[in-house]
Amino acid sequence: MIAIERISFSYTKEKPLFTDFSWTVQPGETWSVLGMSGCGKTTLLYLLAGLLHPDSGSIKILGQTIGRPRPQTGLILQDYGLLPWATVRENAMLGLRLRGFYGPDGTHAPRDQSSIDTGVVDEWIKRLQIDGVQEHYPSQISGGQRQRTAIARTLALHPDLLLMDEPFSSLDAVISEDLQDLTLQLCREQQITLVVITHSIEEAAVLGQKVLLLSRAPQTKPVIIENPQNAQPNYRYSPDYFRAVNDLRDRLEAN
């Protein structure tokens, strides 16, 4: 799914974030990217999204070099990215309306907005249990409902790759855990490849069947931790989970 080949990237020449860095992700895998602040986690996500471009090397998704954002990549940010003047349903519709305006390949090809299939949005609104607030505005709903709205907007576009930047960090613990479980369930059902940026060791252990551990910049070689047990039922209450959390904490502190 993702092939990063010997990329280098820096905002300033004095402080490179990535130097000759390579990393591979297979279709359908779920990855957590864990590391201290300033190590390049969010920059890596923006590179994958096509919002930033490497100084050298290449980033390919399904064999295609990324030169700009691709329509099949979903991106969910920490602040949800909702329009405050639009209702929950209108926000969930936003991705489809933009795709209808620009066309499926991202080029400018406006067409009749009435031809957009709104049924898929309504299905996700119901599935994500926000149908009761679909006529509310973001300021009128909870943080968990706002995040569910962002997820509905993204899944309505049928992504094959979902990128998330600390999506649950501002939520209460119980709501955060509920949305973590829901995200994994939906990605498995829809066969979506997932890459989640997080600073939470516990979240990394739950979401990632593999964890990419980033050290102090610059990143030169990926440190990959296998975590296949995360797919087992009630994983966060199992001994395997606590062992994974302790292992990640030890590795992060030693990095």
Where in the chain are the domains?
Answer: 1-72+161-255, 85-158
Q: Are 3 and 205 in contact (CB under 8 A)?
A: no
Q: State whether residue 166 is helix, strand or coil.
A: coil
Report the relative pairing of strands 73-76 and 193-198 from DSSP bridges: unpaired
Instruction: Tell which CATH architecture fits domain 1-72+161-255.
Output: 3-Layer(aba) Sandwich (3.40)
Q: Supply the pLDDT for residue 43.
A: 95
Q: Supply the pLDDT for residue 117.
A: 63
Q: How far apart are CA 230 and CA 238, in angstroms?
A: 10
Q: Are 146 and 80 in contact (CB under 8 A)?
A: yes
Output the DSSP codes for 36-75.
-TTSSHHHHHHHHHTSS--SEEEEEETTEE-SS--TTEEE
Q: Supply the pLDDT for residue 77.
A: 83
Residues of the chain with pLDDT under 50: 101-109, 113, 115
Task: Tokens for 237, please give them.
Answer: 């209450």
Residues near 237 by Cβ (< 8 Å), separated by ≥ 6? none
Q: State whether residue 146 is helix, strand or coil.
A: helix
Q: Supply the pLDDT for residue 242.
A: 93
Q: Supply the pLDDT for residue 208.
A: 94
Q: Residue with structure tokens 């606590």?
A: 242
